[in-house]
Structures are given as structure tokens and as C-alpha cells.
A = this chain, B = another copy of it.
Amino acid sequence: MALEHAILVSLLEQPGSGYELARRFDRSIGRFWTATHQQIYRVLRRMEADGWIAAQEVAQDGRPDKKVYAVARDGRSVLSDWLREPVEPETVRHELAVKIRAAAFDDPAALISEVTRHRESHAALLERYRTGEQRDFPPGTELDPQQQLQHVVLRGGIEYERMTIAWLDDVLATLHRLSR
């Protein structure tokens, strides 16, 4: 229900084509909202028809033409209205937690390699976040409001990864204890 809004935010930060948006959703925006190019193209067409965004054809050489979208006045007011609505509760889908409880009815040791793999990928993500933080928000710099808000969201991602790594260590210790 809010892919439209995530796209509006991304286009306000920087106008772009469907393809470019799809890549952003694979990277920075994808930290808190995922979408495939199929979804993005479909929603872009609807948003353009509704007058939330406006497209401009851009010819490129050596590459296919692209349609660059920018947020229109109606889109800004839609976003403003949405900002003032209460956030609806997120639907939780924590597959690893289900597996951990499932391990009680199977061999707990079977999960160790999978949990270790998760721990490594979260550690790698934490490293990338911290590198990005030092690059984009070095200490002692004046940040404009947009950057301050981006930074506080990134800090949330960093704290989430830290907490998750510590918890996965706890999970691993428990699995090892049960495997003896």
C-alpha cells in the first residue's frame, strides 16, 4: 500500500527512470522497502495517470531511451497527507525465528551452518553501513535537514545490525549447547 510513497520520496530526493528506481530499491532504499522492476513500472504508470508524477522522455546515445519521472504538485500533497496518517502495523515475517523453534523437533545442529551464514552476512552489511556513514556523514560536518534524517535512518540500520549479530551469537551458543 505504500510503494507509491517510497517512490515519491525517492523521486523527491532525485528524479529518475523506472530502471534507476529499480536499482535504488536494490540498494539504499531497499534497506527499508523492497520492490521488483515489475512492481515499479506498473505503479509508475498508475502514478503518472493519476498526475502524481510527470515523465520526460530522454534520448541517450549508446543506450535505450528512458522516461525520467519527477514528482508533480499532486504527488507532493499525496505524500504530505500520507505523512499525517498513522503508520499501519507491519506484518512480521521472521523465517529464521520459525526455524529456531522448529529445531526443537529436529536436530538443532542442522541449523548451525545456516545461522553462521546469517551472522556473516549481517556483519558484512554492518561494515557497509559504517563505511557509508563515514563517507556520507563524517563527524564535525554541518548537515542539512534531509541529510540529518537520512543519517538517523542509517543509524537505525546500524543499530539493528549490531543487535542482530549479538542475538545470532546468542542463538549459536544455544544451538551448540543443545548439540552436545
Residues of A within 8 A of B (CB): 2, 5-6, 8-9, 12-13, 30-34, 76, 79-80, 82-84, 86-88, 90-106, 108, 110-111, 114, 117-118, 145-146, 148-150, 152-153, 155-156, 159-160, 162-163, 166-167, 170-171, 174, 177-178
Contact = CB atoms under 8 A, between A and B. Distances in A.
A87 B6 CA distance: 26
Contacts of A82: 99, 102
Contacts of A30: 92
B177 A155 contact: no
Contacts of A160: 163, 167
A93 B95 contact: no
A54 B130 CA distance: 50
Given A87-B118, A160-B163, A163-B160, A33 B98 contact: yes
A92 B33 contact: yes
Given A167-B155, A178-B148, A95 B87 contact: yes
Dominant SS among interface residues on chain A? helix
Contacts of A83: 99, 102-103, 106, 110-111
B178 A101 contact: no
Contacts of A178: 145, 148-149
B166 A104 contact: no
Given A83-B111, A111-B83, A97 B174 contact: no
Contact of A93 (B91, B148, B166): B91
A153 to B, nearest CB: 5
